[in-house]
């Protein structure tokens, strides 16, 4: 009797083990053979954006490889589906439609840059596919648009020099500022940020003047700032303005507590062209290989910025640029959103993922992420991604602000 019962239990255990083993095997096989999550990109493989878009795409591809090497997101692999938009907005619109309707991708990364993203923004809203705009500095696709499907991953113009105001107040002890900027959309946006932060921090604005983009001699404006007694001069436009303003200031012997300029001051050419005069000039950078950031890869696995840089160099035999980091970081954000959805609903649900993208506050190797919440006029617009204040010191670009990410102490006083 007892023997018969033991035999019965044995039989039960054996068959249970077989069932369990079979279940595990089937689950694994199912996971291994699961339909990949498809992410579509209209990518500028050729045309005028070929260079930056190339870096961006390499960032996306490295992210795809890392996720799949680690077994996918909750077991599901990711697959990039892309076409060449030839850097043409009309082509980007056509391809975005094709990706959503013919290839039936689950999600989208926006094309490279403000121009192409602005072109496809309304199409993405119409198609209702969650999308991440990896590299867009303008706020046009979000400001007042009440966007529901696309969020901005990169930083916006007003954030570019905001940190320099904090630096000027807290470290340079500047009491006032002269804002001088080119009258085109991006520099106007930068000046908006400077003005807002200066008012918020109680920095007296002595001069707030825009200049014509055809201006070739900045000395009258720089002299005006000097005659008003400005201690902190900030603003600029593109490369020629950064060089022109620095030269004009040095040419009249203008001594400042801090000089902060976009976007040319961050260009390695700036120090080559200006030599010693570039020393101490502050600028703005959005990502650097040296910053200590970390981000999600798959459940239980993260990657540090330095490891991303190393992997990138191994994979593509060249140094990553900030476009590459944006491509990888946008992937990390999407992976996290998909992961949450798979955990909650056991599927990559578009609505859940969209809600996550519009509400998540966190970090990727590219830096902080956080957008205006869904339902608001500027929904989807980036508000957390801070720029680093960089400064040329002994021919090297050092991060000097924010404090916690600084690679060197800021130099106060310019010229050196």
Partner 1 sequence: MGELLNLIEFALRGLMVGAVYALMAMGLSLIFGVMRVVNVAHGEFLMLGGYVSFFTWSYTQLNPIASLLIAMPVLFFFGVAIQRLFIERVVGRPELSSLMLCFGLSIILVQGAQVLFTPDPRGFTWLLYPVRLLGWNFPMYMLMIFATSMVIAFALFLFLKATRWGKAIRAVSQNYEVAQACGIDARKVRMLSFGCGAALAGAAGAFVPVQFSLSPGVGHEFILKSFAVVVVGGLGSLSGAFLAGLLLGMVESLITFYFSSHLAQLTFYATIIVVLLLRPGGLFGTTET
User: Which residues lie near partner 1 (CB under 8 A)?
Assistant: 183, 209-212, 214-217, 219-221, 223-224, 227, 239-240, 243-244, 247, 250-253, 264, 269, 273-275, 277
Nearer to partner 1 by Cβ, of 227 and 351: the residue is 227
Strand partners, 389: 284, 401
Nearer to partner 1 by Cβ, of 212 and 314: the residue is 212
Nearer to partner 1 by Cβ, of 140 and 240: the residue is 240
The Cα 241–Cα 267 span in angstroms is: 12
Residue 364: CA atoms inside 13 Å, Cβ hemisphere, count?
30
Nearer to partner 1 by Cβ, of 35 and 217: the residue is 217
The Cα 102–Cα 97 span in angstroms is: 8
Please, what is the minimum distance in Å from the beta carbon of residue 321 to partner 1?
16
Please, what is the minimum distance in Å from the beta carbon of residue 73 to partner 1?
41
Please, what is the minimum distance in Å from the beta carbon of residue 220 to partner 1?
4
Please, what is the minimum distance in Å from the beta carbon of residue 412 to partner 1?
21
Please, what is the minimum distance in Å from the beta carbon of residue 208 to partner 1?
12
The Cα 271–Cα 211 span in angstroms is: 24
Nearer to partner 1 by Cβ, of 70 and 224: the residue is 224
Strand partners, 131: 108, 150
Please, what is the minimum distance in Å from the beta carbon of residue 323 to partner 1?
17
Nearer to partner 1 by Cβ, of 217 and 319: the residue is 217
Please, what is the minimum distance in Å from the beta carbon of residue 270 to partner 1?
10
Nearer to partner 1 by Cβ, of 189 and 244: the residue is 244
Nearer to partner 1 by Cβ, of 273 and 307: the residue is 273
Please, what is the minimum distance in Å from the beta carbon of residue 172 to partner 1?
22
Edge-first strand order for the sheet with 204-211 is 204-211, 176-182, 232-236, 258-262, 282-285, 388-393, 396-401
CA distances from 283 to 160, 188, 226, 337 (A): 9, 16, 20, 33
Nearer to partner 1 by Cβ, of 73 and 241: the residue is 241
C-alpha angle 142-42-186 in degrees, rounded to nearest 5: 40
Nearer to partner 1 by Cβ, of 215 and 412: the residue is 215
Please, what is the minimum distance in Å from the beta carbon of residue 216 to partner 1?
5
The angle, 0 to 180 degrees and rounded to 10, between the axes of the packed helices 50-69 and 322-345 is 40
Please, what is the minimum distance in Å from the beta carbon of residue 285 to partner 1?
19
Phi/psi at 114 (5° precision): -65, -40
């Amino acid at each position: 009797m007892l023997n018969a019962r033991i035999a019965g239990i044995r039989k039960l255990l054996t068959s249970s083990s077989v069932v369990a083993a079979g279940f595990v095997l089937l689950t694994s096989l199912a996971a291994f053979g699961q339909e990949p999550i498809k992410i579509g990109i209209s990518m500028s493989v050729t045309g005028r954006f070929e260079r930056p878009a190339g870096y961006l795409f390499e960032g996306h591809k490295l992210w795809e490889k890392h996720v799949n090497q680690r077994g996918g997101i909750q077991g599901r692999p990711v697959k990039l589906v892309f076409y060449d938009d030839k850097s043409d907005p009309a082509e980007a619109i056509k391809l975005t439609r094709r990706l959503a309707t013919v290839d039936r991708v689950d999600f989208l990364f926006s094309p490279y840059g403000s121009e192409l993203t602005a072109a496809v923004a309304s199409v993405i809203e119409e198609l209702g596919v969650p999308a991440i705009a990896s590299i867009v500095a303008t706020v046009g696709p979000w400001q007042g648009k009440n966007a529901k499907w696309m969020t901005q991953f990169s930083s916006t113009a007003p954030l570019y020099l905001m940190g320099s105001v904090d630096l000027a107040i807290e470290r340079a002890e500047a009491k006032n500022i002269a804002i001088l900027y080119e009258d085109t959309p991006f520099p106007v946006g930068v000046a908006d940020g400077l003005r807002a932060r200066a008012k918020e921090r109680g920095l007296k604005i002595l001069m707030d003047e825009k200049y014509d983009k055809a201006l070739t001699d900045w000395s009258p404006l720089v002299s005006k700032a000097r005659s008003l007694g400005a201690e902190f001069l900030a603003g600029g436009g593109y490369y020629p303005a950064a060089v022109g303003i620095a030269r004009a200031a040095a040419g009249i012997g203008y001594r400042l507590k801090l000089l902060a300029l976009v976007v040319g001051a961050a260009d390695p050419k700036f120090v080559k062209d200006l030599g010693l005069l570039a020393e101490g000039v502050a600028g703005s950078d959005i990502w650097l290989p040296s910053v200590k950031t970390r981000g999600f890869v798959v459940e239980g696995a993260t990657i540090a910025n330095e490891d991303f840089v190393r992997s990138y160099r191994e994979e593509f035999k060249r140094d990553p640029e900030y476009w590459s980091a944006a491509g990888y970081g946008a992937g990390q954000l999407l992976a996290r959103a998909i992961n949450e959805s798979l955990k909650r609903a056991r599927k990559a649900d578009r609505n859940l993922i969209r809600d996550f993208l519009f509400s998540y506050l966190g970090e990727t190797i590219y830096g902080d992420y956080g957008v205006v919440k869904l339902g608001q006029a500027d929904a989807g617009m980036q508000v957390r991604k801070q720029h680093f204040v960089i400064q040329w010191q002994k021919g090297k670009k050092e991060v000097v602000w924010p404090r916690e990410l600084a690679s060197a102490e800021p130099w106060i006083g310019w010229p050196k």
